[in-house]
Structure 1
Amino acid sequence: MVNKVKKTVQPRVGLVYDTRMLKHFTPGKEYHHENPNRIKHIWERLESAGITQRCVVMTAKEAEDKYVALVHEQYHVQLIKNISSKEFDDSDREMIALNCDSIYLNKGSSEAAFVAVGAVMEVTEKVAKGELDSAVAIVRPPGHHATPDLAGGFCLFNNVAVAAKYLLDKRPGLGIRKILIVDWDVHHGNGTQKVFWDDNRVLVFSVHRYDHGKFYPSGKYGSHSMIGEGLGAGYTVNVPWEGAGVGDADYFAVWDHVLIPITKAFNPDIILISGGFDAAVGDPLGKCRVTPFGFSVMMKKLMDFAKGKIVMALEGGYNLESLADSVLACVKTLLNDKPGPHSQETPASESSWRVIKAVRRELSKYWPVLANELPMNVVHNSKKKMHHKQLAAKERLKREETEALHSVAEHDIEKLKERLVAAENTVKQQEAESQGKSLHSYLYFRTSLPKSESKAAKLEAEKSVAEVEAAVAKQQAVELTVRAAKLEAEKSAAEAEAAEAKQQMVEAQWRAAKLEAEKSAAEAEAAEAKQQVVEAQWRAATAEKKVVDAEQLVSKERQQREALKKAFDESFKHLKECSTLLAQ
């Protein structure tokens, strides 16, 4: 029997790239984060990795005005179309750019913008038709900040929004009824949100830095409480990070506990990804820590839905290396390649869990799957791992600081020892020279000069003696210097010990503060318990008083009943007597 080897079918992954998009650059060619090198570097990386040979490579067609106008106001479409015409010079374009938010314009901007939209539209339609399994559009300028009436945030047209509208409104025969847009750019996709704010055909998911409304594009629109309205209520999902530094584990937690459950319930026909890579490691704007492995896992998890129909359009990403590596990782994932090296990532932070819980609470009435509380072991284990990581980091830092102090002290001592040895050698040499010179002078004057020698000779002898005394004094000075060096070495060692003692004191103070805080908390609990005891005693006393009052009332009623009974008995007795008399 012949064993049949099952062949793996190579996924049909589309790649669209067009050099016309390189024509959009800053006037005067001054540096800008969003520059032509971004897509050029990505393409070169894909070529060098042999990826372009495994994909369906396409050039783009410029989008038609009428399709761009599905999202953007007509005057905005015409403005972007005409900025490259002879009617506009550099000063006109500069004035237009200043009236927008964080954009630039040059002669090539118009063509690049229409090519970018057309590229995303084309591959999206091919994936929807089934001609491609998935696709990646390496385009610029980016799009997710562009609103219907205004360019902004480096974006001229909203490429992904136009592609989604095109499928829903102009290609109904393709059977696309529900679209999921996943925006993992580090900035909130405010433009895309605005386009589909009240549309329940499109679920817009954005995970981004928010920093309590202070991170671009700023304001309240990226808050977790912004969920859409009308028919679109619940179809806008915002996951707003509270600050920089989020990494793979934080995004995985969002995928597992927010995006994936909602996606299962929504059941999209196609997924469009606003693929910004400014949350990647080393990005100058995002300042986060997502790795190429992290992006590949995020992509892989989405491939389980919509029959794998995924289109990723480039948005941000401004570190050329991490940008190219991350896009490469995503394309390889679509090609079913094994993921790259696993990231050594710390667990999701407490801040991230706080955000995730808030998002789930906000959306639970629209998506019942989010109504359940997160499993305690998930959050607890993550916090426990984070706690251990933090403790290990603190211990490592303490150890490194101590080692550094000892190293510095040892270095200082060695240097001082060297100085000490050199000083001792100098002293010995000078002492020998001084003694030799003094002895020679003394013998000379003792043997060669008679007592009747002149006064000048006597002075010369005294001079020699003075030189000897000076040499001795110099030797003493050197010895003092040596002793000072020894003291300096001892001082350095003492300072190292003092620094270590200070560190121990700080730790002791921290422990004392912690104990004090625990003591305060315990005292507060004791005070509260004492108050509860007092209240309980008061309630008991009140209840006891009520019991006494009730007993008194019962006793009084009993006495009244007995008095009534006695009166009744007497009346009845009198009645009997009367009846007897009447009978007689």
Structure 2
Amino acid sequence: MMEVGSSGGKSNCNRMSDAKNERRVGLIYDQRMCKHRTPYGDDHPEKPDRITVIWNKLELAGIPQRCVILNAKDAKDEYICAVHSKNHVNLIRNISSKEYSKRNRIASKLNSIYLNEGSSESAYLAAGSVIEVAEKVAKGELNSAFAIVRPPGHHAEYDEAMGFCLFNNIAIAASFLLDQRPELGINKILIVDWDVHHGNGTQKAFWSDPRVLFFSVHRHEFGSFYPANFDGFYTMVGEGPGAGYNINVPWENGRCGDADYLAVWDHVLVPVAKEFNPDIILVSAGFDAAVGDPLGGCRLTPHGYSVLLKKLMDFAQGRIVLALEGGYNLDSLANSALACMEVLLEDKPISELSEAYPFESTWRVIQAVRQVLSAYWPTLADKLPTKLTDQKAPPHILLSSSESDDEDDEASKIISKDLVQAIEDVVEPISKLKIEDNHDNEDSSATKDQNLEDPPTKRVPTKPTN
């Protein structure tokens, strides 16, 4: 039996509510994934506390008692090798047994990665956990599930760990369902990546595969936000048989919140999902777009996440798997995860969002995405009415940082000076990740807006390479 949070092996494991109408929701959490930590014991945004605070929050709300609690399992190398090279798999498998100095040398050559004696076990458990819940949902044994895992995965590429990610957990699970379990009838998978950073690794894994519709909404700022390239631009739509099955919604600025994300769901994702008609939905559930996150600089609320997830439950008969990605403000992370679990359990009705409007830049991005993708998805061909796109937030909201904006939630005040310093010390390159939003004055913002009107498409790479 796996360890569960601070309560140890409670009798609530492998139990669920007897309520006749309650959905069967799976949940995986394993303290062994906390063994992956910085080698010097320094504070770091991607730290073990991320998964323990989620579990403790769920326990306080009585969520585990209503779920099917599953044991974490190591992923098999053959499943991981469907997404990663043998060299990469061998590196991660053996990295924790290598000498301390050698691990540090390897980590120093990678982008935003640390390694220690617990990294190998954690990486294998994270990938195996997402496979485990995805298979059970695909079989119909569960309606949906949440894998509370770390390290995250969506940045990990074919032959490289990066951005805190060692194995691409969500891509490995998708490949497993499609190629290892064809008898389950999963022929079309929708991967929704709502992490604030672009899921570059997942995009490359399915760049030419029409069986996977990859959708990523992320802060981009024309290549200046991590991972600091143009792979996440809206012109990157896939190639060959996969053309049109890669959808990027790249925010031009930070501070995007509930209204911005809802607009993207209603006018891009939901119409395409109806046409695609997926058999299952896998969510790269990063919560670093949440209000107060020190790396994201966006403003999604727990209620906002619940609305986005509720809309996804209209597809694939509600067969949805959430796999944790980012999220570095512990309070926002835990609250957002709880809100999502309540949706999976159909705990309470989801009310509409407040009457806030998206930014003007949000409508501009949505219209650009619809125009590019309309060649592949006829449902996006119609131009959005001016009456709709004229509903936008005042531009001055973009000009002030969260420190001086009275609107910011209390969550943003939780970020300590020590954590900010830790982020500056360990995240590479910090100028690309950006702590909070940096639109400090009207003059610089006005200049930037002029540059964003006509994006420099000539700087977009022809294609990612596997």
Structure 1 length as normaliser, TM-score? Answer: 0.64
Deviation string, structure 1 residues 323-376 (Cα, Å, up to 9, x no partner): 000000000001112257876563111000000000000100000110001123
Deviation string, structure 1 residues 162-188 (Cα, Å, up to 9, x no partner): 000000001000000000000000000
Instruction: Determine helix, strand or coil for the equivalent of 2:369.
Output: helix
More divergent stretch after superposition (343-352 vs 53-62): 343-352
**Residue equivalent to 2:81:** 69
Asked if 1:251 is matched to 2:261, the reply is yes
Determine the C-alpha separation between the residues in 1 that align with 2:352 and 2:84.
Answer: 42
**Larger Cα Rg: Structure 1 or Structure 2?**
1
Determine the C-alpha separation between the residues in 2 that align with 1:298 and 1:124.
Answer: 20
**Residue equivalent to 1:147:** 157
Match of 1:11, as an amino acid?
Answer: R
Instruction: Determine helix, strand or coil for the equivalent of 2:356.
Output: coil
Match of 1:66, as an amino acid?
Answer: E
Determine the C-alpha separation between the residues in 2 that align with 1:236 and 1:283.
Answer: 27
More divergent stretch after superposition (91-100 vs 340-349): 340-349
2:384 pairs with 364, 374, 382, which one?
374
**Residue equivalent to 1:21:** 33
More divergent stretch after superposition (363-372 vs 88-97): 88-97
**Residue equivalent to 1:57:** 69
1:203 pairs with 209, 213, 234, which one?
213
- Using CA pairs below 8 Å that are at least 6 residues apart, which structure has the higher relative contact order? 2
Determine the C-alpha separation between the residues in 2 that align with 1:116 and 1:96.
Answer: 21
Match of 2:287, as an amino acid?
Answer: F
Determine the C-alpha separation between the residues in 2 that align with 1:116 and 1:97.
Answer: 19
How far off is 1:244 after superposition? 0.7
How far off is 1:138 after superposition? 0.2
Structure with higher helix content: 1
**Residue equivalent to 1:106:** 116
**Residue equivalent to 1:311:** 321
Q: How many residues align?
A: 381
Mapping 1:287-366, distance limit 5 Å: 287-338=297-348, 344=354, 346-366=356-376
**Residue equivalent to 1:132:** 142
Match of 1:295, as an amino acid?
Answer: Y
Runs of 5+ consecutive residues of structure 1 not aligned to the other structure: 1-6, 398-584
Structure 2 length as normaliser, TM-score? Answer: 0.80
Does the 8 Å contact 1:329/1:339 carry over to 2?
no
**Residue equivalent to 1:32:** 44
Does the 8 Å contact 2:197/2:227 carry over to 1?
yes
Identity of aligned residues (%): 62
Does the 8 Å contact 1:245/1:289 carry over to 2?
yes
Determine the C-alpha separation between the residues in 2 that align with 1:246 and 1:349.
Answer: 8
Determine the C-alpha separation between the residues in 1 that align with 2:287 and 2:149.
Answer: 13
**Residue equivalent to 1:190:** 200
Determine the C-alpha separation between the residues in 2 that align with 1:387 and 1:24.
Answer: 43
**Residue equivalent to 1:472:** none
Instruction: Determine helix, strand or coil for the equivalent of 1:289.
Output: coil
Asked if 1:160 is matched to 2:170, the reply is yes
How far off is 1:153 after superposition? 0.1
Match of 1:243, as an amino acid?
Answer: N
Determine the C-alpha separation between the residues in 1 that align with 2:355 and 2:159.
Answer: 41
Please tell me the root mean square deviation across aligned C-alpha atoms, in Å: 1.7
2:279 pairs with 269, 277, 298, which one?
269
Does the 8 Å contact 1:346/1:389 carry over to 2?
no
Match of 1:255, as an amino acid?
Answer: W
Asked if 1:84 is matched to 2:96, the reply is yes
Mapping 1:468-487, distance limit 5 Å: none
Deviation string, structure 1 residues 509-550 (Cα, Å, up to 9, x no partner): xxxxxxxxxxxxxxxxxxxxxxxxxxxxxxxxxxxxxxxxxx
Instruction: Determine helix, strand or coil for the equivalent of 1:113.
Output: helix
Match of 1:76, as an amino acid?
Answer: H
